Structure 1
Amino acid sequence: MRTIYTEKYRWFRHIIMLLLVVVLLPSCEKEEVNNDPILHSFGPSPALRGGELRFIGQNMGDVTAVIFPGISGGTVQVTEIIVVNEREIKVMIPQDSGVGIITLVTTRGEIKTLTPITYSEPILINKVSPMKAKAGDVLTIEGDYLNLIKRVIFFDNVIVEGDSFLEGQTRKKIQLTVPAEAQSGKIIISNGEEIPIEVYSDDEIEIALPWVSETLDLTGKKPGEVIEIMGTDLDLVVSLVMPNEDQIPFEVTENEDGQSILFTLPENMSDGVVVMIPASGVEVAIANIGMALPTNVVAIPAESLRGGDLIKLEGLNMELITNIIFPGINEPV
Structure 2
Amino acid sequence: MKNNISYIKSHVRVIMLLMVMGQFMLVACGDDDTASTDTAVLSFGPSGVRHGEDIIIIGTNLDKVSSILFRPSVEVSDFKEHSPGSILVTVPQEAEPGTLILRTSTQEIETKTILNLEVPVTISSVTPSAKPGTEITVTGDKLNWVESIIFSSDITVLKESFVTQSSSELKVTVPMAAQTGFITFSAGGTEPLVFAHDSQLEVLVPVISALNPTAVRHESTLTIEGANLDLVTEVIFSEDVSITSGSFTAQSETAIELTVPATAVQGKVTLKQAAPVDVESSGELVIVLPAGTSIAPETQKPGIDEVTITGSDLDLVASLQLPGHGTMLAADFTSHTAGSIVFDLPEAASLGVINYTTIHGFSGPLGLAISLPSSGLGALLIPLYVDAIDEAMSEGGGWSSTTDFANTENPREGENSIKVTYEGGFGGGAQLGTWGKSPVSIAGSQVFAFSLFGGDGTDGKQLNLNVKSDVDNTMLVTIKEGEWVDFEIPIADFGSPAEITEIWFQDQGWSGTVYVDRMGFDL
TM-score (norm 1): 0.63
SS in structure 2 at match of 1:213: strand
**Matched-pair contact (CA < 8 Å) for 2:119–2:188:** no
**Deviation digits for residues 212-234 of structure 1 (CA, Å, limit 9, x no counterpart):** 13689x7x976446544432222
**CA displacement 1:3-33 (0-9 Å, x = unmatched):** xxxxxxxxxxxxxxxxxxxxxxxxxxxxxxx
Q: Match of 1:126?
A: 124
| Counterpart in the other structure of 1:284 | 279
Deviations 1:175-227 (A, max 9, x none): 2343444322222333489x9743322111112211113689x7x97644654
**Given residue 133 of structure 1, which amino acid in structure 2 is its aligned partner?**
A
1:1-333 pair list within 5 angstroms: 41-56=43-58, 61-68=63-70, 70-71=71-72, 76-83=74-81, 88-104=86-102, 115-129=113-127, 131-167=128-164, 169-191=165-187, 197-213=193-209, 223-224=218-219, 226-248=221-243, 249-251=247-249, 259-270=254-265, 273-286=268-281, 288=284, 309-311=348-350, 321=363, 326=456, 328-329=458-459
State the shift of 1:146 in Å: 0.8
Deviation at 1:174, TM superposition (A): 0.8
Spell out, residue by residue over 1:63-91, the C-alpha distance to the aligned partner (whole angstroms, 9 max, x if none): 444344x24xxx65433222266654311
Deviations 1:242-281 (A, max 9, x none): 3224432445578xxx944444432323576531123334
Distance 1:232 1:101 in 2: 50
Distance 1:107 1:133 in 2: 51
- Tell me if the contact between 1:53 and 1:90 (Cα under 8 Å) persists in the aligned partners: yes
The range that moved more, 141-150 or 182-191, is: 182-191
Q: Which deviates further from its counterpart, 284-293 or 271-280?
A: 284-293
Unaligned runs of 5+ in 2: 1-35, 303-322, 326-346, 370-454, 461-480, 483-523
For residue 104 of structure 1, report the CA deviation from its aligned partner: 4.7
Alignment match, 1:21: none
- AA aligned to 2:232 is V
Provide closer, same or farther for how the CA distance between residues 205 and 300 of structure 1 changes in structure 2, counting only shifts above 3 A. Answer: farther
Closer/same/farther in 2, CA of residues 212 and 47 from structure 1, 3 Å limit = same
Q: Aligned AA for 1:145?
A: K
**Secondary structure of the residue that 1:99 maps to in structure 2?**
strand
Superposed displacement of residue 140, structure 1: 1.0
Q: How far apart, CA to CA, are the structure 2 residues paired with 1:85 and 1:107?
A: 16
- Contact between 1:294 and 1:315, CA under 8 Å: does it hold in 2? no
TM-align CA RMSD: 4.8
- The residue type paired with residue 52 of structure 1 is D
Q: Answer whether contact 2:250 2:258 (CA < 8 A) is retained.
A: no
Q: Distance in 2 between matches of 1:105 and 1:321?
A: 84
Q: Is the 8 A contact 1:135 1:207 kept in 2?
A: yes
- Relative distance call for 1:302 and 1:56 in structure 2 (3 A) is farther
CA contact (8 A) 2:355 2:364 kept: no
Query: Residue 116 of structure 1: SS of its match in structure 2?
Result: coil
Conservation of the 8 A alpha-carbon contact between 2:78 and 2:89: yes
Q: Which has the higher strand share?
A: 2
TM, length-normalised to structure 2: 0.43
Q: Which amino acid aligns with 1:66?
A: I
Letter in 2 for 1:239: E
Offset, 1:141: 0.3
Q: Give 1:156 shift.
A: 2.4
Pairwise CA distance, 1:165: 3.3
Give the 3 Å change call, closer, same or farther, for CA 58–234 of structure 1 in structure 2: closer
Structure 2 distance, partners of 1:192, 1:52, is 20
Are the equivalent residues in 1 in contact too, given 2:270–2:278 (CA < 8 A)? yes
Change over 3 Å in CA distance of 1:180–1:101 after alignment to 2: closer
Q: Look up the equivalent residue of 1:274 and give its one-letter code.
A: V
Residues 300 and 92 of structure 1, relative CA distance in 2, 3 Å threshold = farther
Q: State how far apart, in whole Å, the 1-side matches of 2:116 and 2:101 are.
A: 14
Cα gap change, 1:297 to 1:120, in 2 (>3 Å): farther
Shift of 1:107: 8.7
Report the Cα offset of residue 128 of structure 1.
Answer: 0.6
Compute the displacement of 1:296 (Å).
8.6
